[in-house]
Amino acid sequence: MLKEILWFLAGLFVAHWLIGLVLGFVLPLIGWSTNFWLESAILVVLVFVFYNRNRPLAYGIIANIVLKILVMVFALSIPFI
């Protein structure tokens, strides 16, 4: 049980920090721009890669995608509040 929880948290870490670091810091250094859809596409590919190998890791990545969507919906709804 603890092992699955740690893998889930690792999935959140991989999805949030590693992808964010690469897309938010490294790509602009070489002149490439990034956006939410590129990051989401990479995360979906990671889910497909890890789903059969390590489900808790894939679930962590899925949770990160859901959190990103919720944050985006909340951020877009602020002007209407």
What is the value of pTM for the model shown?
A: 0.66
Q: What's the average model confidence in pLDDT over 47-57?
A: 83
The DSSP secondary-structure symbol of 30 reads T
Mean pLDDT estimate for the chain:
79
Q: What's the average model confidence in pLDDT over 46-69?
A: 83
Helices 55-77 and 36-50: crossing angle, nearest 10°? 160
pLDDT over 70 at 81, yes or no: no
Q: Exposed (0-12), middle (13-18) or buried (19+): which is 68, by Cβ within 10 Å? A: middle
Question: What is the full DSSP assignment across 34-59?
Answer: --HHHHHHHHHHHHHHHTTT-HHHHH
